[in-house]
C-alpha cells in the first residue's frame, strides 16, 4: 500500500449507526483521531435516509435480544436529541390490531415483551381502538403504544454529522472500502489508503463484504428485500391519525404492510418485503449487477429449506406487486380504503437482511462480530435508526 492517512478509529459507513458511533467515540475520546468513510457523495443515502421516520417502542423484541436492550432507550434518547436541537418530532402513537384468532395469541406475546422491557403498552378492545383510530378495522382487540413517535430522520442525520465534524471527526465521502489488510491495520478505498487502530464496520448493506475482508462473517451473507410504498391521497389521509400496524409474524423480521403518518403529515401504506436483485436495486433494473445470480441462488436455497415458513412469505410478498392484492392487505387495517386512494410513490427502500448460509435462515437480531482491532455490525436493520444512540454506546462498550 502507498502512504496512508492514519487514525485511531475508522468507521466504515456514513449512515445513522456509523455517525452515532462517531458521536459516541468523539464524546468519550476527544483527543482521538476519528474518520468516517462513506462510499456515496453524501451521508445517509441508503437505509438511514429512506426509513419510515418512525421511532419504535421496542414491543416486538424478546427480552434476550440485542434489539430489546437498545430500542426503547434509543427511542428515548433520539426523541430528546430532536427536542434539544429543534428537530421535528412528535409522539403519534401506534395501534397494532389483530386480524384473526391466531393474532390474539401473538398479542399476548407482545404484551409480555412490553412488560419485560418496561415499555408502555395498553391492551384495547375494538371500541377503544376506534376512539384512537376511527377508521381502523380491528378483530376483537389490539395494542396501543403511546410512545411511538414520528421524526424528521434526515434532519437528525445532518445534525449528528455537524456535531461530530465540530468535534474534529473527519468525514471522507466517495470512499468505498475495496480491500482490508487487517494484520497491518490498513485499508484501501476507491480514492486512497487509510491506517487504523480500530475499525468499526457500520457499512449497512456492505457490512458483510467488509467483514469477510478481515476473515470474519464467513457463515453470513446478505439477502436484500425491497420495500415499496403507496401514498394515501390528501383527500383520504384523514383516515389515519398516527400509525396502524398489523400483528406481525414473530418468526419473521418484517412487520407487514402498515399505515404511517410521517412528520410532514403525509400518510404512506407499505412496505412490501419483495426480494431484490441487488443491494441497491431501488428501481426495476437500477442496482442490479453480477451479484444477482448469487442472490437468486440464495433465494432458491432458502425456498427449498423453507425455514421460518419462507415459501409462504415469498408467495405473499410477490403477490403484493399486484395492486388488488396489496389493497386486500391494506383493507385488513382500514376497510374503507379504495384503490383510487392509493397513489404511486417514489418512496422505496432496501432492507439489507442478513441470512445464515449454513442454516438457511433469516437472522432476526443484530449480529456483531469482532476481533482485537475491529467490530462488524452485520444486521443493522430496523429498529437501527430508533436505537442508534443506545446501540452506539453498546458497540463502543464492547470494543
Contacts of 261 (CB under 8 A, 6+ apart): 92, 150, 237, 240, 241, 242, 243, 267
Does 54 share its domain with 85? Answer: yes
Which pLDDT tens digit goes with each residue over 35-57?
A: 999 999 999 999 898 988 999 99
**238 and 317 inside one domain:** yes
Question: What integer is the mean pLDDT of 77-83?
Answer: 97
Q: In sequence order, which residues have a C-beta less than 8 Å from that of residue 315 and are 6 or more positions away?
A: none
Q: Is 384's pLDDT higher than 60? A: yes
pLDDT at residue 1 is higher than 80: no
Q: Do residues 111 and 259 both lie within one domain?
A: no
6 and 60 both lie in a single domain: yes
Nearest-angstrom CA–CA distance, 269 and 224:
20
CA distance 11 to 50: 21
| pLDDT attached to residue 286 | 87
DSSP reduced 3-state for 55: strand
pLDDT for the residue numbered 51: 86
Range of the domain at 69: 1-91+149-219+364-399
Tens-place pLDDT, residues 273-289: 988 999 999 988 888 98
Residue 249 has pLDDT above 90, yes or no: no
| Interatomic CA distance for residues 377 and 391, integer angstroms | 10
**Mean pLDDT over residues 93-99, rounded?**
96
Q: Which residue has the higher pLDDT, 85 or 287?
A: 85
Do residues 67 and 126 both lie within one domain? no
pLDDT at 344 over 50: yes
In terms of residues, how long is the chain? 399
Q: What cell does 116 get?
A: 419485560
Share of the chain above pLDDT 70, in %: 99
pLDDT value for 2? 52
CA–CA distance, 165 with 158 (Å, rounded to integer): 11
Q: Region 146-161: what's the mean pLDDT?
A: 96
Mean pLDDT confidence for 73-102: 96
Domain of 308, CATH number, reads 3.30.9
DSSP string, 370-386: EETTEEEETT--TTHHH
| One domain, residues 87 and 109 | no
- Interval 312-340 mean pLDDT: 92
Same domain, 199 and 265: no
The predicted structure's pLDDT at residue 266:
95
Q: Are residues 71 and 174 in the same domain?
A: yes
| Confidence at 251, pLDDT banded by 50, 70, 90 | confident
Same domain, 156 and 27: yes
**Rounded mean pLDDT, 68-83:** 96
How many other C-beta atoms are found inside a 10 Å radius of the C-beta of residue 121? 23
Is residue 58 scored above 70 in pLDDT? yes
User: Which helix or strand (DSSP H or E) is residue 350 part of?
Assistant: strand 342-356
Beta carbons within 8 Å of 284's beta carbon, 6+ residues apart: none
Lowest-pLDDT choice from 222-236, 241-255, 358-372 = 241-255
DSSP state of 248: P
Query: How confident is the model at residue 381, as a pLDDT?
Result: 92
- In terms of domains, do 266 and 395 share one? no
Distances (CA, A) of 133 to 89, 96, 127, 239: 20, 11, 10, 8
Number of domains in the chain: 3
Both 194 and 339 in one domain: the answer is no
CATH assignment at residue 397: 3.50.50.60
pLDDT attached to residue 162? 98
Are 38 and 181 members of one domain?
yes
| Domain-ending residue, one of 119, 146, 173 | 146
Looking at residue 217, its pLDDT comes to 95
Mean pLDDT score of the chain, rounded to an integer?
94
Q: Is the pLDDT of residue 300 over 70?
A: yes
Q: What percent of the chain clears pLDDT 90, i.e. is strictly above it?
A: 89
Amino acid at each position: 500500500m502507498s502512504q496512508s492517512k492514519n487514525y485511531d478509529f475508522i468507521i466504515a459507513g456514513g449512515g445513522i449507526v456509523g455517525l452515532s458511533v462517531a458521536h459516541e467515540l468523539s464524546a468519550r475520546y476527544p483527543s482521538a483521531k476519528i474518520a468516517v468513510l462513506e462510499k456515496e457523495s453524501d451521508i445517509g443515502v441508503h437505509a438511514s435516509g429512506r426509513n419510515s421516520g418512525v421511532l419504535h417502542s421496542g414491543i416486538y423484541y424478546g427480552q434476550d435480544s440485542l434489539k430489546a436492550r437498545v430500542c426503547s432507550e434509543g427511542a428515548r434518547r433520539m426523541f430528546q436529541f430532536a427536542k434539544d436541537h429543534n428537530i421535528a418530532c412528535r409522539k403519534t402513537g401506534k395501534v397494532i390490531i389483530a386480524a384473526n384468532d391466531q393474532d390474539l395469541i401473538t398479542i399476548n406475546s407482545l404484551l409480555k415483551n412490553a412488560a419485560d422491557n418496561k415499555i408502555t403498552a395498553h391492551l384495547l378492545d375494538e371500541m377503544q381502538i376506534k376512539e384512537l383510530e376511527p377508521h381502523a378495522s380491528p378483530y376483537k382487540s389490539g395494542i396501543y403504544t403511546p410512545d411511538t413517535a414520528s421524526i424528521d430522520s434526515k434532519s437528525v442525520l445532518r445534525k449528528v454529522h455537524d456535531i461530530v465534524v465540530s468535534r474534529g471527526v473527519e468525514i471522507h465521502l466517495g470512499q468505498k472500502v475495496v480491500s482490508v489488510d487487517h494484520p497491518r491495520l490498513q485499508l484501501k478505498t476507491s480514492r486512497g489508503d487509510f491506517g487504523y487502530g480500530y475499525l468499526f464496520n457500520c457499512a449497512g448493506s456492505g457490512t458483510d463484504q467488509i467483514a469477510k475482508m478481515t476473515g470474519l462473517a464467513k457463515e453470513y451473507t446478505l439477502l436484500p428485500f425491497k420495500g415499496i410504498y403507496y401514498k394515501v391521497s390528501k383527500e383520504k389521509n384523514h383516515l389515519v391519525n398516527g400509525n396502524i400496524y398489523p400483528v406481525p409474524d414473530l418468526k419473521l423480521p418484517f412487520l407487514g404492510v402498515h399505515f404511517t403518518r410521517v412528520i410532514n403529515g403525509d400518510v404512506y401504506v407499505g412496505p412490501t418485503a419483495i426480494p431484490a436483485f441487488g443491494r441497491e436495486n431501488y428501481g426495476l433494473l437500477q442496482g442490479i449487477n453480477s451479484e444477482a445470480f448469487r442472490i437468486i441462488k440464495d433465494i432458491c436455497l432458502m425456498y427449498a429449506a423453507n425455514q421460518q415458513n419462507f415459501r409462504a412469505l415469498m408467495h405473499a410478498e410477490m403477490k403484493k406487486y399486484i395492486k388488488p392484492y396489496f389493497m386486500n392487505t391494506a383493507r385488513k387495517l382500514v376497510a374503507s380504503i379504495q384503490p383510487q386512494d392509493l397513489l404511486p410513490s417514489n418512496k422505496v427502500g432496501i432492507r439489507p437482511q442478513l441470512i445464515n448460509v449454513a442454516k438457511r435462515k433469516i437472522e432476526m437480531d443484530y449480529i456483531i462480530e469482532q476481533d482485537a482491532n475491529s467490530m462488524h455490525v452485520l444486521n443493522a436493520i430496523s429498529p437501527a435508526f430508533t436505537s442508534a444512540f443506545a446501540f452506539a454506546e453498546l458497540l463502543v462498550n464492547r470494543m
